[in-house]
A and B are shown apart, each in its own frame.
Chain A
Amino acid sequence: MSLPITAILVDDELDSTQLLQLQLRRHCPNVNIIGIENDSEQALASIARLQPRLLFLDIEMPNLNGFQLLEKLLPFKPAVIFITAYNQYAIKAFKYNALDYLVKPVLATDLMEAVAKASNPANHPSDMQLKQAQQQMVGEPITKIAVSTQSGVSFITLSQIMYVEASSNYSLFIMDDCTKFTVSKTLKEVQELLEEGNFFRIHRQFIINLNKVKHFDRFEFTLTLDDKTRLPVSRSQKDKLLERYNGL
């Protein structure tokens, strides 16, 4: 078993912190709970004083939301696992910024996985991730997403993606300046991240940026991109693809 991790739980709902405490005791005995706070202002003081290594943080609270609380803690930066009942804006912000989060009621396996991940300092969120997530949560448009790569977390500007190619459990991003990088997500997960933007999955293997398409060959079912790459289009996706263009 790994070293004990000191943790503080913050949620305005009493039942939530109690349940989390029970679940942590049962499933994550290496987490040493040194504080439980149900008020965001009081949490601020207690975190500053006790300096836990890990924070379980509800995102929706009166007075300060989770992101605002983190901001006020600076320069102190603990590892964070966000928790939310359901807030579509928050969940999107977490996803787009590769931040770890749990949804209530929390599954034991998810909890254990999140704790294991948070124990590794390499997985701690960067200022950039947190800042961007906070902006996106209040409705700022998404122009960049954060993704975990082999070397850490990278930010990708959506408009610079040429296409994404599946490579077993990884995805290969090919950018318009010909740089490439591998992301540890399946193409399906990438598709979920990109679906709100101007992207389309043309094939089991490929997601393309619709703004980078030069030509579509109706007879051969191939697409030519700005950089002259030719990619196959699934027959089943052809009509939907044309629909996306008609809609533009």
Chain B
Amino acid sequence: MSSNSLFTAIVAVALLVIFLIIGMAIIIIIARKQKISQQLKEAQLQARINDANLAALSSQMNPHFIFNCLNSIRLYAEQNNVEAAGEYLSMFAQLIRNTLHNARREKILLQDELDSMGLYLKLEAMRFKEKLKYQIVVDDNVDVDFVEIPPMLVQPYIENAIWHGLMHKEDGGTIRLHFKQSTDDVLIVTVEDNGVGRQNSANIKWVALTKQKSYGTQITSERIALINEKYHINATVQTTDLRNNKNEPCGTLVTLKIPLNELAHNSNIG
């Protein structure tokens, strides 16, 4: 072999090695960049979820609700109705404790969410007396001690039903909550009220409070969108205007659908 061809071979090999190294370096850099941007994306999504949860917490801890509850408790105390004052104070404390606790979690047991909803409705019923009746039905096949859902998804729709549906009716009405589970493991939550309906409610002016009230459900739809993005699921919420057989508005039906299997199993996927 001439020294010339040896030299050519060496140069060729060296070039090859250099290209390989550069190529690998480029691949590593790209992969890292992608990983970083993926991590950044995840962190951003998480930050948005945290923001949305915080907003949900503050809308659930609605000051109007808090201070009117305390006011009612004070009334019982002034009336020397020691038992009622004590009971309502403890229920109020329990609801606040639950809310603070749940706000830090991404998912909670359905039973815990049911407890909070029950307390919330009891306290609202204390304020509104016979104007507010409610019913919570959970189907037998829903395993409340195992099913996990994101907290505070349902409450804003209950609040909405009370304030926009029932309160505008002279003698109030009933809220029906129904939890059922389909065969393909989708949790279906319905919130039904027999109030004045969305259209009538929108026509009634409620200055200053209106913004705050619809705020709660707006936050919830944003949260649902974020949860869908994070868990790659398709949870939905749908509002239907109810009409009686004379075609008059007779309430509102909100249907939430949460796919439980994917929500449970996709939890570690970005």
- A137 nearest CB neighbor, chain B only: B208
**Residue among B72, B128, B129, B204 with most chain A CB within 10 A:** B72
- A68 nearest CB neighbor, chain B only: B207
Bound Cα distance A15, B263 (Å): 42
CB of B209 within 8 A of chain A?
A: yes
Check if A87 sits within 8 Å of B208, measured CB to CB: yes
Check if B74 sits within 8 Å of A105, measured CB to CB: yes
CB of B75 within 8 A of chain A?
A: yes
CB of A221 within 8 A of chain B?
A: no
Q: A86-B64, A105-B70 are in contact. Are A65 and B75 (CB under 8 A)?
A: no
Q: Please give, as numbers and ranges, the residues of chain A lying within 8 Å of B128 by CB-CB distance.
A: 14
- A25 nearest CB neighbor, chain B only: B78
What total of chain B residues lie within 8 Å of the partner, measured CB to CB?
25
Bound Cα distance A60, B126 (Å): 19
Among A12, A18, A90, contact of B75 (Cβ-Cβ < 8 Å): A18
- Whole-angstrom distance from the CB of B195 to the nearest CB of chain A? 12
Check if A104 sits within 8 Å of B208, measured CB to CB: no
Bound Cα distance A85, B66 (Å): 8
- Whole-angstrom distance from the CB of A23 to the nearest CB of chain B? 7
Q: Please give, as numbers and ranges, the residues of chain B lying within 8 Å of A105 by CB-CB distance.
A: 67, 70-71, 73-74
Check if B71 sits within 8 Å of A60, measured CB to CB: no
Q: Please give, as numbers and ranges, the residues of chain B lying within 8 Å of A87 by CB-CB distance.
A: 63-64, 208-209
Q: Please give, as numbers and ranges, the residues of chain B lying within 8 Å of A62 by CB-CB distance.
A: 167-168, 204, 206
Name the interface residues of B108-156: CB closer than 8 Å to any CB of A: 126-129
- Whole-angstrom distance from the CB of A135 to the nearest CB of chain B? 12
- A85 nearest CB neighbor, chain B only: B67
Q: How large is the interface on A (under 10, 10 to 19, 20 to 34, 35 or more residues)?
A: 20 to 34
CB of B38 within 8 A of chain A?
A: no
Check if A103 sits within 8 Å of B78, measured CB to CB: no
Interface of B is mostly: helix
Check if A60 sits within 8 Å of B64, measured CB to CB: yes
- A93 nearest CB neighbor, chain B only: B208
Check if B68 sits within 8 Å of A16, measured CB to CB: yes
Q: Please give, as numbers and ranges, the residues of chain B lying within 8 Å of A85 by CB-CB distance.
A: 63-64, 66-68, 71
Bound Cα distance A147, B146 (Å): 60
Among B67, B205, B207, B209, contact of A104 (Cβ-Cβ < 8 Å): B67
0 or 1 for each of A11-29: is its CB under 8 Å from B? (1 = yes): 0111110110011001000
Q: Please give, as numbers and ranges, the residues of chain B lying within 8 Å of A26 by CB-CB distance.
A: 78
Q: A86-B64, A87-B64, A104-B70 are in contact. Are A19 and B208 (CB under 8 A)?
A: no
**Residue among B68, B75, B79, B168 with most chain A CB within 10 A:** B75
Q: Please give, as numbers and ranges, the residues of chain A lying within 8 Å of B205 by CB-CB distance.
A: 63
- Whole-angstrom distance from the CB of A232 to the nearest CB of chain B? 40
Bound Cα distance A90, B64 (Å): 12
Q: A13-B127, A90-B208, A138-B207 are in contact. Are A22 and B67 (CB under 8 A)?
A: no
Q: Please give, as numbers and ranges, the residues of chain A lying within 8 Å of B167 by CB-CB distance.
A: 12, 62
- Given A85-B67, A104-B71, A105-B74: 14 more A-B contacts, CB < 8 Å: A12-B167, A13-B127, A16-B71, A19-B71, A19-B78, A60-B208, A85-B64, A87-B208, A87-B209, A103-B67, A104-B67, A137-B207, A138-B207, A138-B208
